[in-house]
Chains A and B, each alone.
Chain A
Amino acid sequence: MRFSRSIYRLLLRLYPRDFREEYGEQMLLDFGDYAKDRPFAAWAAAGRDALLNAPGEHVRLLAQDLRYALRTWKRAPALPAFALLTLMLGIGAVTATFSLVRGVILKPLPYLEPDRLVRIFESSEKQGYPQFSASVPNYLSWRERVRSLELAAYSGMSFTVTGEGEPERLEALACTSNFAPLLGVRMTLGRWFTELEEQQGHHRVIVLSDAFWRSRFGAAESALGRSLTLNGSPYTIVGVAPPGFRFTADPSLWTPKILDPGENRGNHYITVIGRLRPGVSIGQARAEMEAIAFDLERQFPESNDTWTTRISPLDEWMVDRQVRSSLVMLLGATFLVLLIGCANVANLLLARAAARESEFAIRTALGAGAVRLARQLLTENTLLSLAGGLLGVAASWWIMQASRRWLGSFLPRAEELALDKTVLAFALGVCLLTGLAFGLAPAWYVFGRPLAGSLQRSGRSLSLASHSLLRRGLVVAQISLAVVLLIGAALLLQSLGRLQQVPLGFDPDNLVTARVALPRAKYLGPKFGQAAAAIAEALRSTPGILSASAATGIPFSPIGDSSMSSGGDFADTRSRWVEPKYFETMLIPLIKGRHFSPTDRPESGLKVILSEEMSRRLFGEGNPVGRTLRADAGTQFEVAGVVGDVRLRRLSEPPQRIAYFPATQGGSWPNLHLVVKTRLSSTETADVLRRRIREIDPHLPVFDIAAMRERIQDSSRQAQLQTGLLTGFGLVALTLGALGVYAVVAFLVRSRTREIAVRQALGAPPRRVMAMILGEGLRLTLFGIGLGLAGAFVTTRVLADQLFGIHPLDTATFGAVPLVLAVVALVACYVPARRAAAIDPMSALRTE
């Protein structure tokens, strides 16, 4: 009997404490009698009670607390409103950033067993290409020999669609027939390519991307089997790819890659991916590929000298290190903001708890224990954090919807962003932790409070000292976190500023660029140069256009920029064919020799103009003009001049070697970039471009029209986003920190009114009182700044690889930020300090 009573006593612990204290004894007595009469029924009832009635009592208590909280808030809505706003910002920012981190970094790639997928690079550290594309013959040699990997490859290309309506330019990926099967991607409709279709003559088949299928065919299944005229030839549609299948390029079409073993082995332009065979580690695959590359290097020294291979996991390649570290840094920053917000809310709640002391005392007198009061506070705070979290998640969802497209323009995998279950679970976890973080402080305060005596005290309580210590600690924490954020933001801002001052090597003002597709079949050999000349000439003669030219590759335009001739003196050099007026239009300075002239014909000896970097590499400080350079095929070029270096892709990258060839001497490229120096607006320029080119050949599509300034901006968008966000966070942190200092100092003034009044009555001048209060605030601030500097010293290292031209421990920044913070904090202290100085001793003491 005693044993079963002990068990029942244990079961009683499932009830809320106050219910147990009230009725536990009665229930135990009744259970004892019941168990004597009908033991079986008594135990069944006890079990049912434990499962249903005990949780029910908890729910009732929760509902009671919630009603109570809502009533309290309705009476004084300012605090909960401010807390909600802070939490919404904090949780919203953390959730949005986490969804970025998850979508871009954490979520596995949407392919079959993505952790077995790798990217294979050709690599030559000696020539400055640690990770480079592969050549078709090397790919074929690898495929033949490698055992540890299955390989697939693709290269980018573009098509001009003609037939119905305006000619349209489409980006496509030419892939080996095992490309989609290797990734484990199934077509939504139809099929992928067969091996036979990799052969010349069978290759005119295409798979449509989901987006193109929808826009061009309205998602009609009847698109299958139809044909599209691409570059003048009919291609049959055999399949439609699933929506998520875009790889890094987001192509409109997929088509088979014809692998010609006769291509130049030194022409690196295809992307090779692979799947590790079962049981093979990436290390084993690396070793095998390097051995194969070593054999090939000996077998083909003229093309493969110094080239080996490098393998990295596919996801690491798709999202590079800089993006990763930048996102993780942002997530860390949002957490700091949330922490600061929590400290702020905790501080407010503490102040409020102090104000509610008499309410608590009354409730204690009515029999509520400390546990009950702490439970009430925790309920209030959790409700607050959950409501804040709900608003925050809504805000982050809205932010994501609004920014997805924009993010997609520079962030890989942005299209995969979603508020999925993981993100929501994360947000919920953050809310609950947040509720605990800022809710524990006041709950702890309730426990630390002397339970008796609060009712009869005269406005001053014994717990005030420990209470204000806690609040001061929170303010110090806030200020130190704000210092860390502000120093990070200041470093990034300066880095961005320095990036904008990098000399471009050309003048981007009033420069509009566009692309024209010249089909190879129609514009072969000299015809390409003639067409380029005709287009440039037509543009130059247009009113409003100051200068115009054309080239096969231009700065800050990714397409055509990877063209690289290999071997001879042109190893690892970017080469491009340019129209005579190119350098004048771009305002690239001529340093030695002369510009190209229309008289540079194929029969007058091949000419080349070198970039400074290339001249320095080949001839040191010597004068290269008139010297002869050899390409790998034995062709010779005479150096006509040297021009200044230009930045090609990113402002932070050093200039590369460039060789410019005159378009008048041949070269045939599917892409032609136009550069136009104009007095017209960009829309007017776009109209003029389209009109003039239609006059020359109505089948030529003009596309990708953009001002050069925009292109340069685009190249640093990631840095801008990061800097902008961190600056915003820094300012929020600064504001919250200042509010925190203000609130605490104001509280100090209020709680020390009596002391101040006595001092003043004893003859202390108001100035001294003010100095005392300001000193109090300043002490807290300086303490926070000291801690913050130590924190920044450790954390700014994370930024190191994202900073350009500024050291992560930049002395000026580490000096200026604390100064700014100290000034802001002083201003925040000034208001309560003045109030303290204005205290009238007589009336203050009388109200005591």
Chain B
Amino acid sequence: MKPPESFLPLQPAVFHILIALADSDRHGYAIMQEVASRTGGKVRLSPGTLYGSIRRMLEDGFIRELDHRPAKGDDERRRYYRITPIGRKVAAAEVARMSELVAQAQALGLRPQGA
């Protein structure tokens, strides 16, 4: 197994999808909605970007497709995805990488306006 750090830095779409799947299994459109609501509508994944990323994340083993369908009453054709332990490790590594970067920037006096 490759170390999680070898996948860094993650593409923004991939990172967003991992965050969206962190607390719950979701299908494609639910991921799109989750990302949009978390970012206040600033980031909206298109279906093309979403499934291009999903294909790669499946290949790399960050997520997997569920055999059963957790939600009832929605379209039976929907596929649900779940984050894997590897996916969590990689996401955590990305978080660590980013925090370190943020800490370094703040130490140099780079802070958001008004903070």
Identify the A interface with B (CB < 8 A): 19, 22-23, 25-27, 29-31, 33-34, 41, 45-46, 48-50, 52-54, 56-57
Q: Beyond A27-B47, A34-B47, A46-B46, list 4 extra A-B contacts (CB 8 Å).
A: A26-B77, A29-B75, A46-B47, A53-B49
Tell me the bound Cα distance from A190 to B77 in angstroms.
Answer: 82
B-side binding surface: helix, strand, loop or mixed? helix
B48 interface residue per 8 A CB criterion = yes
- B50-82 at interface with A (beta carbon < 8 Å): 50-52, 54-55, 75, 77-79
Tell me the bound Cα distance from A52 to B79 in angstroms.
Answer: 24
Q: List 15 A-B contacts (CB under 8 A).
A: A19-B51, A26-B51, A30-B28, A30-B29, A30-B47, A34-B29, A34-B47, A41-B44, A45-B44, A45-B46, A48-B48, A49-B46, A49-B47, A56-B52, A57-B52
Whether B48 contacts A26 by the Cβ 8 Å rule is: no
Min C-beta distance of B55 to chain A, whole Å: 7
B35 interface residue per 8 A CB criterion = no
- B65-115 at interface with A (beta carbon < 8 Å): 75, 77-79
Whether B77 contacts A30 by the Cβ 8 Å rule is: no
Whether A30 contacts B50 by the Cβ 8 Å rule is: yes
B32 interface residue per 8 A CB criterion = yes
Min C-beta distance of A95 to chain B, whole Å: 40
Min C-beta distance of A56 to chain B, whole Å: 7
CB neighbours (8 Å) of A29 from chain B are 28-29, 75, 77-78
CB neighbours (8 Å) of A57 from chain B are 52
Q: A25-B77, A26-B78, A48-B46 are in contact. Are A33 and B51 (CB under 8 A)?
A: no
Tell me the bound Cα distance from A555 to B29 in angstroms.
Answer: 91
Going nearest first, the 6 A-B pairs with the smallest beta carbon separation are A49-B48, A53-B48, A45-B46, A23-B51, A27-B47, A30-B29
CB neighbours (8 Å) of A50 from chain B are 48
Tell me the bound Cα distance from A19 to B56 in angstroms.
Answer: 11
Give the contacting residue for B48; candidates A25, A27, A33, A41; CB below 8 A: A27
A18 nearest CB neighbor, chain B only? B55
CB neighbours (8 Å) of A53 from chain B are 46, 48-49, 52
Identify the B interface with A (CB < 8 A): 27-29, 32, 44, 46-52, 54-55, 75, 77-79
A48 nearest CB neighbor, chain B only? B46
Min C-beta distance of B60 to chain A, whole Å: 14
Min C-beta distance of A723 to chain B, whole Å: 60
Q: A25-B77, A30-B50 are in contact. Are A19 and B55 (CB under 8 A)?
A: yes
Give the contacting residue for A23; candidates B29, B44, B55, B78; CB below 8 A: B55
A25 nearest CB neighbor, chain B only? B77
CB neighbours (8 Å) of B49 from chain A are 49, 53
CB neighbours (8 Å) of B48 from chain A are 27, 45-46, 48-50, 52-54
Whether B52 contacts A26 by the Cβ 8 Å rule is: no
Min C-beta distance of A73 to chain B, whole Å: 24
CB neighbours (8 Å) of B29 from chain A are 29-30, 33-34
Residue among A22, A41, A45, A56 with most chain B CB within 10 A = A45
Tell me the bound Cα distance from A41 to B43 in angstroms.
Answer: 12
Residue among A23, A26, A30, A33 with most chain B CB within 10 A = A30
Min C-beta distance of A514 to chain B, whole Å: 78
CB neighbours (8 Å) of A41 from chain B are 44
Tell me the bound Cα distance from A54 to B48 in angstroms.
Answer: 7
Whether B32 contacts A34 by the Cβ 8 Å rule is: yes
Tell me the bound Cα distance from A57 to B50 in angstroms.
Answer: 12
CB neighbours (8 Å) of B51 from chain A are 19, 23, 26-27
CB neighbours (8 Å) of A23 from chain B are 51, 54-55
Tell me the bound Cα distance from A45 to B50 in angstroms.
Answer: 11
Tell me the bound Cα distance from A27 to B78 in angstroms.
Answer: 10
A50 nearest CB neighbor, chain B only? B48
Whether A45 contacts B47 by the Cβ 8 Å rule is: yes
Tell me the bound Cα distance from A34 to B51 in angstroms.
Answer: 15
B31 nearest CB neighbor, chain A only? A30
Min C-beta distance of A124 to chain B, whole Å: 78
Whether A26 contacts B32 by the Cβ 8 Å rule is: no
Give the contacting residue for A26; candidates B44, B46, B79; CB below 8 A: B79
Tell me the bound Cα distance from A30 to B51 in angstroms.
Answer: 10
CB neighbours (8 Å) of B46 from chain A are 45-46, 48-49, 53
Tell me the bound Cα distance from A45 to B78 in angstroms.
Answer: 20
Tell me the bound Cα distance from A52 to B75 in angstroms.
Answer: 29
CB neighbours (8 Å) of B50 from chain A are 27, 30
CB neighbours (8 Å) of B78 from chain A are 26, 29
Min C-beta distance of B12 to chain A, whole Å: 15
Tell me the bound Cα distance from A46 to B78 in angstroms.
Answer: 19
Tell me the bound Cα distance from A72 to B52 in angstroms.
Answer: 27
Give the contacting residue for A30; candidates B32, B52, B55; CB below 8 A: B32
Min C-beta distance of A19 to chain B, whole Å: 7
B56 nearest CB neighbor, chain A only? A60
CB neighbours (8 Å) of B32 from chain A are 30, 34
CB neighbours (8 Å) of A25 from chain B are 77
CB neighbours (8 Å) of B75 from chain A are 29
CB neighbours (8 Å) of A31 from chain B are 47
A19 nearest CB neighbor, chain B only? B55
Tell me the bound Cα distance from A21 to B51 in angstroms.
Answer: 12
CB neighbours (8 Å) of A30 from chain B are 28-29, 32, 47, 50
A32 nearest CB neighbor, chain B only? B29
CB neighbours (8 Å) of A54 from chain B are 48
CB neighbours (8 Å) of B28 from chain A are 26-27, 29-30
Min C-beta distance of A107 to chain B, whole Å: 47
A51 nearest CB neighbor, chain B only? B48
CB neighbours (8 Å) of A52 from chain B are 48
B46 nearest CB neighbor, chain A only? A45
Tell me the bound Cα distance from A25 to B50 in angstroms.
Answer: 13
Min C-beta distance of B57 to chain A, whole Å: 13
Tell me the bound Cα distance from A33 to B47 in angstroms.
Answer: 11
Min C-beta distance of B71 to chain A, whole Å: 14
Tell me the bound Cα distance from A57 to B52 in angstroms.
Answer: 8
Tell me the bound Cα distance from A33 to B27 in angstroms.
Answer: 12
CB neighbours (8 Å) of A34 from chain B are 29, 32, 47
Tell me the bound Cα distance from A46 to B44 in angstroms.
Answer: 12
Min C-beta distance of A416 to chain B, whole Å: 50
A24 nearest CB neighbor, chain B only? B51
B44 nearest CB neighbor, chain A only? A41
Whether A22 contacts B47 by the Cβ 8 Å rule is: no
CB neighbours (8 Å) of B52 from chain A are 53, 56-57
Tell me the bound Cα distance from A45 to B49 in angstroms.
Answer: 9
Min C-beta distance of B63 to chain A, whole Å: 14
Whether B55 contacts A22 by the Cβ 8 Å rule is: yes
Tell me the bound Cα distance from A34 to B78 in angstroms.
Answer: 14
Tell me the bound Cα distance from A54 to B55 in angstroms.
Answer: 13
Tell me the bound Cα distance from A45 to B28 in angstroms.
Answer: 15
A57 nearest CB neighbor, chain B only? B52
CB neighbours (8 Å) of A33 from chain B are 29
CB neighbours (8 Å) of B47 from chain A are 26-27, 30-31, 34, 45-46, 49
Min C-beta distance of A46 to chain B, whole Å: 7
Tell me the bound Cα distance from A421 to B79 in angstroms.
Answer: 52
Tell me the bound Cα distance from A30 to B32 in angstroms.
Answer: 9
CB neighbours (8 Å) of A56 from chain B are 52
Residue among A23, A31, A54, A56 with most chain B CB within 10 A = A23
Tell me the bound Cα distance from A19 to B47 in angstroms.
Answer: 13
Tell me the bound Cα distance from A46 to B77 in angstroms.
Answer: 21
CB neighbours (8 Å) of A22 from chain B are 55
CB neighbours (8 Å) of A19 from chain B are 51, 55
CB neighbours (8 Å) of A49 from chain B are 46-49
B45 nearest CB neighbor, chain A only? A45
Tell me the bound Cα distance from A41 to B50 in angstroms.
Answer: 15
Tell me the bound Cα distance from A27 to B47 in angstroms.
Answer: 6
Tell me the bound Cα distance from A52 to B44 in angstroms.
Answer: 16
Tell me the bound Cα distance from A675 to B52 in angstroms.
Answer: 84
CB neighbours (8 Å) of A27 from chain B are 28, 47-48, 50-51
Min C-beta distance of A7 to chain B, whole Å: 14
Min C-beta distance of A288 to chain B, whole Å: 70
Min C-beta distance of A820 to chain B, whole Å: 58
Tell me the bound Cα distance from A345 to B15 in angstroms.
Answer: 47
